[in-house]
Chains A and B, each alone.
Chain A
Amino acid sequence: MTVEAAPTTATAPSAVADGVTARIISPRRLMWWKFRKHKLAVASAIFLILAYLATIFAGFVAPYDPATRSRNLYAPPQGIHFFDEIGQFHLQPFVYGWKMTRDLETLSPVYTVNPEEKFPVGLFVRGEPYKLFGVIDADVRLFGVAEGGYFHLAGTDHFGRDMFTRLVYGAQISLSVGIISVLVSLVLGLVIGGISGLYGGWIDNFIQRVIEAIIAIPTIPLWLGLAAAVPRDWPPLYQYFAILVVLSLISWTSTARVARGRFLALREQDFVTAARVYGASRTRIIAKHLVPNLMSYVIVTLTLAIPGIIIGETALSFLGVGLKAPTVSWGVLLQESQKVQIIQFYPWLWIGPAVCVVSVVLAFNFVGDGARDAADPFSR
């Protein structure tokens, strides 16, 4: 759905049909105006757009390769500084290097700031080569430090891998699961809900009872059962699609219900009766009169369904039946942090993915709220 550029005027122009020169206000534009009033939703939408852009350009945004190991294991996040230890201002921010010692009792590494080592942080620096979109050779990274230095914005894990990089690559899986399985539910929900609402009778009854049966099964055990049936020896990509299908199999039900309800309501509208009376075919009525009028509601349901799916993937991976290392997803990252040692001493390993999951889920909910208000621009 394309949205036209927002007019600069803050007040919504009245839709009075007077002068011929007045602008034509389409329902879509009305929705956009209404959505725009929901500031939190707009901010969340911008955040989500940035997050998805980051997953598309993961190689560029992440400073390292997700498998690259540094010598610093379990290094905490490095703070960015503008003032050095004697209080002198540097226009280019820098990070300090770490000095590692070992705790002689636990043998765990203890990092302290090494004031001798300063690595200036730059934008668009040359780093490790990578392939953009898997095909284009590139080596320019969004940010980083010059060769010989190291910069771990979100710390490193037990192999010394950069956590920020792993969060960005994890987002590729976690965020795309939401979108793709929602698209699967959109198709399933529209078709099944549409059949249910348009044909009625025993077909409707049958479909509704099936949906109720699916909803009645507790989600997590069902997911667990289905996910456990995915063969262990499948390559990661196959497992990813298998998990996707498992998640979609449940989320289409709510879409189907919304679609059915809207079909039932719209079917009785006078403009549909008029179309029947002037002889429009059934296909035409569905395509031109029913579907355009229910899409906005379906989109709202879908937006609100995405967070559930993201949490679903995270939960499955966390419980160990979803995706597995070496695949990186937020759930896998959380699963790797399930040790008392990590929870207590290396909190950046679980705070990072947790913050990501929570903020993305919240943002989707805010966007969904805004979209719900905007879905019916004619209601006052």
Chain B
Amino acid sequence: MSSISVQAEPILSVRDLKKHFGGKKTWSGAVSKTIRAVDGVTFTIYEGETFGLVGESGCGKTTLGRCIARALDPTGGEVVYAPKEGGAVDLASLKPRDLRPYRQDVQMIFQDPISSLNPRMTLLDIIGEPMVVNGLARGEEVKHRVGDLLERVGLRAEYMVRYPHAFSGGQRQRIGIARALALNPRVIVCDEPVSALDVSVQAQILNLLQDLQAEKNLTYLFIAHDLGVVEYLCDRVAVMYVGQVVELAETSDLFARPLHPYTEALMSAVPPANPRAARAPRLLEGDLANAANLPPGCHFHPRCGYCVERCRTEEPELREYSPGRFVRCHRAGELKLDGVAELAEADL
């Protein structure tokens, strides 16, 4: 993949974003434990790039995506968005009424093709409603635009009178993409858009996303757990672990030479394209740390094979290891970690 050009403008700057659940006093007087689903995430997405967000289930990547699209209200931090007209707005702190003009610019694509479409609405209503709600079109104009969008995502315009149940998973995902495009957004948060699909359909949807990006100069925040997909599509990748970014780098660098032991473990979970190529798997033991009861020191240390005394007591900061490469590990650079160099040639 091409690496992003240096002069690209930042479109979204996430700064110390936090989303905590619970911690409230319930009616019976007990205080529920605070779940730190997203706990101080910082990164910048540049216009026109595809920014990957990977991590295992429950690490907070979906919550982070939803906070950025303001489907959830963040607990703290900033999401600074650079509108087309210039300037900067903090999407995280805007009140719902002030947020409205920027809603159109940041849209979402969902993982589950079943629950992402209202079963009681026709495609015309599903894809047309965003335009109607935002006053972009009305009446016949909506029909025209919906027809165009359906054709753009590879469906027939005549389908707009049908209901979602008449479509397959891949087709439903195309409908979801058409709905996200209805408002001509600049940023799309793709929340695992292909993980519920067959591999053959996955490739079609990924190609569609790439074509649309080139055509409309879209910026993607691409959430995934499939590293093959991430390597194929993303320019830069952030690796998340219990609500924090542990490593952030350009895709090729990250895959060739991970700096964080957790990234290495993720890589080793990818099945090698050549089963005879002997590779010592770095399997992780134990479960993802409990976000309501985090271990002291480095959150990853109970599962880390390279853990030393310092990791148990002192929490590492996310630091810039080399220009554009960030890592949250005390021992970054000292360790010799394995990447997946062969994935690129053999897999896709």
Contacts and interface: CB of A to CB of B under 8 A. Distances in A.
Interface stretch (B127-135, B229-237, B292-300): B127-135
Interface in A13-42: 15-17, 20, 24-27, 30
Interface in B152-178: 156, 158-159, 161-163, 165-168, 171, 176
Contact of A24 (B100, B114, B161, B183): B161
Contact of B159 (A17, A30, A202, A280): A17
Interface in A189-221: 202, 205
Interface in A243-289: 269-271, 273-281, 284, 288-289
A292 B116 CA distance: 16
B344 interface: no
Nearest to A296: B120
A7 B131 CA distance: 36
Contacts of A275: 129
Given A17-B167, A278-B134, A280-B129, A270 B162 contact: no
A293 B120 CA distance: 7
A277 B163 contact: no
Interface string A362-379: 000000000000000110
A377 B104 CA distance: 33
Given A27-B119, A271-B115, A292-B120, A277 B165 contact: no
Given A27-B120, A278-B129, A270 B115 contact: yes
Nearest to B110: A270
B107 A277 contact: yes
A270 B167 CA distance: 17
A277 B69 contact: yes
A274 B171 contact: no
B44 interface: no
Contacts of B114: 378
Interface in B95-121: 100, 103-104, 106-108, 110-112, 114-121
Residue picked from A20, A205, A269, A284, most chain B C-beta under 10 Å: A269
A350 B182 CA distance: 66
Contacts of B163: 24-27
A276 B71 contact: yes
Contact of A279 (B133, B168, B171): B133
Contacts of A25: 163, 165-166
A273 B166 CA distance: 22
Contacts of A293: 118-120
A18 to B, nearest CB: 10
Contacts, number: 90
B108 A277 contact: yes
A20 B158 contact: yes
Given A17-B171, A30-B165, A205-B27, A274 B119 contact: no
B66 interface: yes
Given A17-B159, A20-B158, A278 B183 contact: yes
B298 to A, nearest CB: 33
- Residue from the set B106, B115, B125 with the largest chain A CB neighbour count within 10 Å: B115
B179 interface: yes
A288 B128 CA distance: 13
B301 interface: no
B119 A278 contact: no
A63 B48 CA distance: 82
Contact of B108 (A30, A274, A280, A284): A274
Nearest to B182: A278
B137 to A, nearest CB: 13
- Choose among A30, A270, A278 the residue with the greatest number of B CB atoms under 10 Å from its CB: A278
A269 B118 CA distance: 9
A279 B110 contact: no
Nearest to A26: B163
A24 B162 CA distance: 6
Given A277-B107, A278-B103, A378 B165 contact: yes
A25 B165 CA distance: 9
B146 to A, nearest CB: 14
Nearest to A206: B27
A17 B119 contact: no
Contacts of B130: 278-280
A274 B158 contact: no
A352 to B, nearest CB: 44
B172 to A, nearest CB: 11
B260 interface: no
A205 B171 CA distance: 41
Contacts of B116: 269-271, 274
18 contacts: A15-B165, A15-B166, A26-B163, A27-B119, A27-B165, A205-B27, A270-B110, A270-B111, A270-B115, A273-B108, A274-B110, A274-B176, A275-B129, A278-B103, A278-B134, A288-B118, A292-B120, A378-B114
Given A24-B162, A277-B108, A288-B129, 9 more contacts: A15-B165, A16-B166, A17-B162, A17-B167, A277-B106, A279-B130, A280-B133, A288-B121, A289-B118
Interface of A: 15-17, 20, 24-27, 30, 202, 205, 269-271, 273-281, 284, 288-289, 292-293, 377-378
Please give me the 3 A-B residue pairs with the lowest Cβ-Cβ distance, nearest first: A270-B116, A278-B130, A270-B110
